[in-house]
Structure 1
Amino acid sequence: MTTIDMPNAQSIPLRPAGSTMSAVTYEDYGDASVLKSSTVDVPHRRPGQLLLQVVASSVNPIDYRMRQGEMRAVLPGGFPRIPGYDVAGYVADNGGDGPFQVGDRVIAFLKHLTGGASADYATCAVHCVAKIPDDLPFDEAAAMPLAGTTALQSLRDHAKMQAGNRVLVNGASGGVGMFAVQIAKASGCHVDAVASGDNEAYCRSLGADGFIDYTQTDFTKIGQTWDIIFDAAGKSSYFEARAVLASGGHYVSTEPNLSGLAVSLLTWPLSKSGRIMLAKPNGEDLLQLIDLYRQSKLKITIDRHYGLSHLADAHRRVEQGVDRGKVVVMNDSM
């Protein structure tokens, strides 16, 4: 783990000095050892995109799953690849127009199928970027995009969350779960958190009204029902959870697979529906997360910081399982 000094707009160049940059890449599928520090071309900014200077990023489970080759059947061909979807940093080039100015502090949820955040610079569609206030640190901001958007869209769009709903969050202490508990509470819901027993105090600090230790109790067998069951950990199934869904309730999982797709297709007309979701980058959703942060309704927990040159260690940490919050990567190559 590396200690990183937090940069500012006056101390670092916003525009690339040349045509190349530092990045972490992989040239074949495999374990974290395939990740290597490399020198690659600065990405070309196309119309409708911004060039962003990356100050911080974070590691999500999708990063190591793609690196391992789990999605090779749907990915476009070609190596090397740069992992990572979360960006916190500065606008380096805006093409001379649009709502963002060079030097703006921003976060972005990269729309590229293969990522690109683990580098000095990344490109991103303008509508997937949001300005961040000066009082939001880059490391906390970098934890927001993918995990926060996943939680928000799962509850709001897929589960049709309303004030007064009873919401259960399975995997409540993890990266997506910590956002889900707080978003549901901010929306006026009763929230029950499921995690290991040593995370009870933490989950309650996020706002959870009730707590279930999954090592001691199976939430599907305790005689309670919920309007929304959000499986942020991908550990339960619709068929296990259906018995404790209230009539008209919604089950949402973040675990993409063929059986999950079948559940989504087969249960949509039923009174108790199941959905497997993949987050869609959207700048307006990022602004909603930022607004919750500024209202002190959303706090960010960082498990550990790593330097970009230690990205392989950050991947290993996430693969091992993070009990609380997110793993953040600071760009130590500039």
Structure 2
Amino acid sequence: MSTQIHEADATARRHPIAQTMHAMVYDGYGNADVLHRTELPIPRRLPGQLLLAVQASSVNPIDYRLRRGELKGLLPFGFPRVPGYDIAGTVAECADDSAFQPGDRVIAYLDHIRGGACADYAVCSIDVTAKLPDSLPDEEAAAIPLAGTTALQSLRDHGKIQAGQRVLINGASGGVGMFAVQIAKSFNCFVTAVASAPNEAFCRQLGADEFIDYGEVSFTETGARWDLIFDAAGKSGYLESRRVLSDSGRFVSTEPDVQGMMMSVLTWPLSKRGKVMLAKPNADDLRTLIDLYERGKLKITIDSRFPFTELGAAHRRVEDGVDRGKVVLLNG
């Protein structure tokens, strides 16, 4: 393949880049069988952006929900689509005056509304990209961006977490919950983990102080109180959780449905507030998560690994329900 020079800036630093790349795409909504490999033009880097060579990614529930068409009212048209928001890889091209240089190992939480990570190359803004330390392998790094950012922003920004609080994480063993338990512990909180009975040991290894088996009892019926309830699984609601919130307690959910959006508006004046959050890509948050990893306060658990070419199987794995950690994709 011939070499193409991207003239996004007057001067740019780059590795030689071919004109086309392999990508996993879907041309219409449907089950995981619609995912297939194709060849696409390499995306053009614009000023303020980096072109990244993708080494690894991961699958999040939003990926299969978009593929199934659950949000087609918000994201119509625009096929073929390249799914995925998490990237671990290297800088392939950047501006001459960039803080990055070609070959830098990085992670990124893509700021494109439709994704784009499951390809040989992707572009993203500089301010959603963070350099990786040598201590953090690509496959673990790829699990961090969306899930880790969701957990961090939910607890810190929306939950207003404070040291010494009682924090409950519903769905504690899953991709987001895994991060949330450890982040809450880094704030020196007392953490209650809610998951299925077989995941108790795993949740306690993450640092949970207390465990509730949702198959035996609902946390809303225990009579206990929490200062912050984070529903990482999107399976509980504000109304039932409100009675086990302490005065001025907060409920945060990751389920962006109409009922949840109404909750955010209607409870804003109340002492016990509810909030549905949508994570925002942010390099500073990625650096915070990397720092927790380097200080031994954040461990990454990988449920399973798939090559990019088996993206359909990876989607099905997440749709079926992942008990512990993240599903990671490896390119090559």
Alignment-derived partner of residue 182 in structure 1 = 182
Q: Identify the residue that residue 228 of structure 1 maps to in structure 2.
A: 228
Deviations 1:225-264 (A, max 9, x none): 0000000000000011000000100000001100000000
Q: 2-side partners of 1:97 and 1:103: how far apart?
A: 15
**1: CA distance, partners of 2:66 / 2:96:** 35
Which SS does the other structure have where 1:94 is aligned? strand
Matches within 5 A, 1:172-251: 172-251=172-251
Q: Which runs of 5+ in 1 are unaligned?
A: 1-13
Indicate the residue corresponding to 2:146 in structure 1. 146
| Amino acid in the other structure paired with 1:82 | V
Other-structure match for 2:275:
275
Report the residue type matching 1:102 in the other structure. P
In structure 2, C-alpha distance between the alignment counterparts of 1:57 and 1:96, rounded to whole Å:
27
Q: Return the offset for 1:99.
A: 1.1
| Secondary structure in 2 matching 1:278 | coil
Letter in 2 for 1:298: L
In the alignment, the residues of structure 2 paired with residue 242 and residue 98 of structure 1 have an alpha-carbon distance, to the nearest angstrom, of 48
Counterparts of 2:162 and 2:103, CA distance in 1: 38
AA at the equivalent of 2:248 = G
**2:77 aligns to what?**
77
CA distance in 1, matches of 2:64, 2:95: 33
How big is each residue's C-alpha offset from its partner over 1:72-115, in whole Å with a ceiling of 9 and x where there is no partner?
11115210000000000000001222111111100000000000
Q: Following the alignment from structure 2 to structure 1, what is the Cα–Cα distance between the partners of residues 16 and 147?
A: 29
Q: Separation in 1 of the partners of 2:136 and 2:230?
A: 28
Equivalent position of 2:110 in the other structure? 110
* Cα deviation digits, residues 30-53 of structure 1 (max 9, x gap): 000000100001001011100000
Moved over 3 A (4+): 14-17
**Cα distance, 1:16 vs structure 2:** 5.5
Note if 1:92 corresponds to 2:102: no
Give % identity.
Answer: 63
The alignment's C-alpha RMSD in Å is: 0.8
Q: After superposition, what is the alpha-carbon deviation per residue over 1:200-232, rounded to whole angstroms, capped at 9, x for unaligned?
A: 000000000000000001100010000000000
Tell me which residue corresponds to 1:169.
Answer: 169
1:22 equivalent to 2:22? Answer yes
> Equivalent residue for 2:311?
311
> Secondary structure of the equivalent of 2:278?
coil
Structure 2 matches for 1:261-300, cutoff 5 A?
261-300=261-300
| TM-score using structure 1 length | 0.95
1:125 equivalenced with 2:101 (yes/no): no
The answer to whether the aligner puts 1:51 opposite 2:51 as a matched pair is yes
User: AA paired with 1:195?
Assistant: A
Matched, 1:63 2:78: no
Instruction: Supply the distance in 2 between the matched residues of 1:331 and 1:240 (Cα, whole angstroms).
Output: 43
Letter in 2 for 1:183: I
Aligned pairs, how many? Answer: 319
What TM-score do the two structures reach when normalised by structure 2?
0.95
| Structure 2 unaligned residues grouped into runs of 5+ | 1-13
Distance 2:67 2:15 in 1: 29
